[in-house]
Amino acid sequence: MWILVILLVILIALAIMSIKIVRQSEVYIIERLGKFHKIADAGLTIIIPFIDHVRSIVSLKQQTMDVPPQDVITKDNVTITIDTVVFYRILEPAKAVYEIQSLKKGIEYLSITTIRDIVGKMDLDSTFTSRDAINDKLRAILDEATDRWGCKIDRVEIQNITPPPDIRDAMEKQMNAERNKRASILQAEGERQAAVLKAQGEKEAEILQAEADKEAKIRRAAGEAEAIRKVAEAKADEVKLVYGAMMKANPDEKLVQLKSLEALKDVAKGEANKVFIPFEATQALGAIGAASELLNDKKEEKTEK
């Protein structure tokens, strides 16, 4: 009876040792008698106890590795501290186990040497402005170097670049100076634009004022011309009426001359500085002058008598 129980316990133990359940995103590296036998994917796997052995459990997930901060000397002899993170995945588990003793240590050491090589060829300012270029170079070099280890480098990120305290103080002072310079330039540019806009506004105001004055003068001149035209038309109408009345009355020459003199009298009362006398009016004036001289001679003769 005891023998059956012992045999049953042994069978159960062997079954437990033979059955392996592999989780998702993991693989088992199975060795048989110390030699690589197979890769067990996710699911149920049966192995032979005491003959087969699980050498390693390899995760196929993307993994991250923090590279310890490293002091790196730049091209212009400035020591800076760089902190880097590497993202990688294992594509060939057998190579990751058998081609290198420690995959993480290999990636770490390779990252350190590559960073020093890349940054050592750059000056301090370039390290701050060329992070993307450094990341791309690091990823390409690490991906090529780790290919024989069955590893794929997906991404490399520089987390932080820390310069020495004295360099950091100098950079902060430079940044403050640049900031003050930009502020002064913006202020000067604003004042210049304000002056330009003010000058343009004054210019446009003067142009509008000149155009308004010009329009006013044009309208004033047009009004005066219209008034003169209307006055001339009124005078012409009066002349036509007088002429018509005179023609109906059948006047003699003396009456015409007298009417001309009356018209000259009205003209002389005007505001003009010069008066133009028609030629016919001069004959009438001459006759009047002769008549006045004759009257004066008669008065002198009477006084002598």
pLDDT of the chain along its 305 residues, tens only? Answer: 678 778 778 878 877 888 888 888 899 999 988 888 899 988 888 888 888 888 889 999 999 999 888 888 888 888 889 999 999 999 999 999 998 888 999 999 999 999 989 988 888 888 888 888 889 999 999 999 899 999 999 999 988 888 888 777 777 777 778 878 888 888 888 888 888 888 888 888 888 888 888 888 888 888 887 878 777 777 767 667 666 666 665 555 555 555 655 655 555 555 544 444 444 444 544 454 444 454 445 445 545 55
Query: What's the CA gap between 153 and 277, in Å, rounded?
Result: 117
* pLDDT (0 to 100) of residue 238: 67
CB-based contacts of 280: which residues, under 8 Å, 6+ apart? Answer: 257, 260
Query: What's the CA gap between 305 and 303, in Å, rounded?
Result: 5
* pLDDT (0 to 100) of residue 288: 47
Q: Are the beta carbons of 80 and 71 closer than 8 angstroms?
A: yes
Q: Annotate the chain with DSSP letters as a single string.
A: -HHHHHHHHHHHHHHHHHEEEEPTTEEEEEEETTEEEEEE-SEEEE--TTTEEEEEEEE-S-EEEEEEEEEEE-TTS-EEEEEEEEEEEES-HHHHHHS-S-HHHHHHHHHHHHHHHHHTTS-HHHHHH-HHHHHHHHHHHHHHHTGGGTEEEEEEEEEEEE--HHHHHHHHHHHHHHHHHHHHHHHHHHHHHHHHHHHHHHHHHHHHHHHHHHHHHHHHHHHHHHHHHHHHHHHHHHHHHHHHHHHHH---HHHHHHHHHHHHHHHHTSS-S--PPPHHHHHHHHHHHHHHHHHHHHHHHHHH-
Q: How far are the Cα atoms of 80, 82, 115, 232 from residue 68, in angstroms, in the given order?
A: 13, 9, 12, 109
Alpha-carbon torsion, ordered 31, 36, 38, 40, to 10 deg: 50
Q: If you compute the radius of gyration of the chain from its CA atoms, what whole number of angstroms results? A: 61
Alpha-carbon torsion, ordered 138, 141, 147, 149, to 10 deg: -70
* pLDDT (0 to 100) of residue 250: 58
* pLDDT (0 to 100) of residue 107: 92
Query: What's the CA gap between 83 and 243, in Å, rounded?
Result: 118
**CB count in 10 Å sphere of residue 6:** 10
Q: Which pTM was predicted?
A: 0.54
For 275, phi and psi rounded to 5 degrees? -125, 125
Q: How many CA atoms are closer than 13 Å to the CA of 72, on its beta-carbon side?
A: 27
* pLDDT (0 to 100) of residue 109: 92
| Residue with token string 């004759």 | 294
Q: What angle do CA 209, 210, 213 make, to 5 degrees?
A: 85
